[in-house]
């Protein structure tokens, strides 16, 4: 079913707070809902492949949920992982569900831990509004990297981009160059990769010159 | 550009739309909403704009809802 919600600011229009209620922070916001209106998946990647991947994961998720309800514990764990991938569960919801499922196999736990790192970084990024906050987040991300807690996917792009802000503020050309190397490997092949990295490369040159 | 200058520019960019919004009457906002909903893209498929109705239809047909959230109050 195709549903379009228009935030109009017309006082008489119902459900004007629906965007925020469904986890949206800006426009446009795309999501898949079940018939009750619960968010099943948030759609970030707007390519055809992105939609196909989401729909495939939703199909798996619903099948796993059905098995989990029938008592299949392994399916329950996989359903939570699928739900996290879709954006249907936040970190707290996922932890709550997993706590009820008992011991989790090591390989699944490693995947879950990785996804929780992504959630943690996304939550920190959502609070960044100023350059100072970006630098502060970047310093925390540098600490996380030392601990081996590094996100994946697009979250990793933001992770390293913000880390660069912290290294720039500290005038640390060496750390900046190292983080930039990782960032470039992550965005390689992306449509705007060259544009994204050019600015950072220019900054690296300035940092190196300042170092002397 | 110094951080303070960046913040000043960013805040003014956010403030201006808010000020413009404050000047729009309910009638103008309703007209903007209607224009948005009449957009050509929504004529190409069976889009439902009523949240209650789409949930009812989804229950009857056992289908998921694809939700597109947009706004009409700004240009």
Closest partner residue to B33 (CB to CB) among A10, A31, A58 is A10
A8 touches chain B (CB under 8 A): yes
Whether residues B68 and A24 touch (CB distance < 8 A) is answered with no
Q: Residue B12 above 50 pLDDT?
A: no
* Model confidence band, residue A136 (pLDDT cutoffs 50, 70, 90): very high
Query: Closest approach of chain B CAs to the CA of A48, in angstroms?
Result: 15
Whether B63 sits inside 8 A of A8 (CB atoms) is no
What percentage of chain A carries pLDDT values higher than 70?
A: 100
Q: Assess if residue B31 is contained within a domain.
A: yes
Instruction: Look up residue A38 and give its two tokens.
Output: 């619960």
The domain in which residue B37 lies consists of: 3-61
Q: What distance in Å separates residue A17's CA from the closest CA in chain B? A: 11
Return the closest-CA partner of residue A163 out of A137, A130, A197: A137
Dump pLDDT digits (tens) for A41-63. 989 888 999 999 999 999 999 99
Q: Are A1 and B56 in contact (CB under 8 A)?
A: no
Asked if residue B50 is part of any domain, the answer here is yes
Q: Is residue B56 part of a domain?
A: yes
Residue B47 domain flag: yes
* Chain B neighbors of A36, CB-CB under 8 A: 55
> Which pLDDT value is given to residue B1?
47
- Give me chain A's average pLDDT, please: 93
> Regarding predicted confidence, which is higher, A88 or B47?
B47
Strand B65-71 relative to strand A2-7: parallel, antiparallel, unpaired?
parallel
This prediction's pTM: 0.70
* Chain B hits for A58, Cβ within 8 Å: 64
Q: How confident is the model at residue B17 (pLDDT cuts 50, 70, 90)?
A: very low
Residue B69 lies in a domain: no
Residue B75 within a domain:
no
Q: How far is B15 from chain A (nearest CA, A)?
A: 15
Closest chain B residue to the Cα of A1, Cα to Cα: B65
B73 lies in some domain: no
What's the rounded Cα separation, in Å, for the pair A92 and B52? 29
Residues of chain A positioned with their CB less than 8 A from the CB of B61: 1
pLDDT the model gives residue B75: 56
Tell me what the mean pLDDT of segment A115-140 comes to. 93
Q: What is the pLDDT of residue A18?
A: 96
User: What pLDDT does residue B19 have?
Assistant: 52
Chain B nearest-CA distance from A110, in A, is 31
Beta-carbon contacts below 8 Å between A and B: 122
Q: Is residue B65 within 8 Å of residue A18, measured between CB atoms?
A: no
Q: Flag whether residue A193 sits within 8 Å of chain B, measured between CB atoms.
A: no
ω into A28 cis (within 30 of 0): yes
Q: What is the ipTM score, two decimals? A: 0.75
Number of folded domains in chain B?
Answer: 1
Q: Per residue in B26-58, pLDDT tens?
A: 999 999 999 999 999 999 999 999 999 999 999
Task: Specify the pairing of strand B47-48 against strand A29-33.
Answer: unpaired
């Amino acid at each position: 079913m195709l549903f379009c919600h228009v935030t109009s600011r017309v006082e008489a229009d119902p459900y004007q707070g629906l965007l925020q209620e469904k986890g949206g922070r800006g426009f446009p916001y795309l999501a898949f809902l079940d018939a009750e209106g619960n968010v099943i998946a948030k759609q970030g990647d707007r390519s055809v492949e992105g939609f196909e991947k989401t729909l495939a994961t939703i199909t798996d998720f619903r099948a796993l949920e059905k098995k989990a309800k029938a008592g299949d514990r392994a399916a329950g764990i996989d359903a939570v992982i699928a739900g996290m991938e879709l954006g249907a569960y936040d970190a707290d919801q996922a932890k709550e569900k997993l706590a009820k499922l008992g011991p989790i196999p090591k390989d699944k736990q490693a995947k879950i831990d990785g996804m929780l790192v992504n959630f943690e970084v996304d939550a920190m990024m959502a609070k960044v509004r100023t350059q100072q906050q970006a630098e502060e987040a970047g310093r925390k991300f540098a600490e996380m990297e030392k601990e081996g807690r590094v996100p994946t996917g697009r979250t990793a792009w933001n992770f390293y981009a913000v880390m660069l802000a912290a290294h720039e503020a500290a005038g640390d050309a060496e750390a900046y160059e190292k983080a930039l190397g990782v960032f470039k490997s992550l965005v390689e092949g992306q449509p705007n990769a060259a544009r994204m990295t050019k600015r950072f490369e220019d900054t690296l040159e300035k940092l190196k010159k300042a170092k002397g | 550009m110094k951080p303070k200058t960046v913040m000043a520019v960013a805040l003014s960019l956010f403030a201006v739309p808010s000020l413009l919004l404050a000047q729009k009457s309910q009638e103008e906002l309703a007209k903007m909403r209607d224009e948005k909903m009449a957009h050509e893209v929504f004529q190409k498929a069976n889009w439902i704009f009523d949240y209650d109705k789409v949930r009812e239809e989804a229950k009857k047909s056992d289908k998921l809802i694809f939700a597109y959230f947009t706004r009409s109050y700004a240009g």
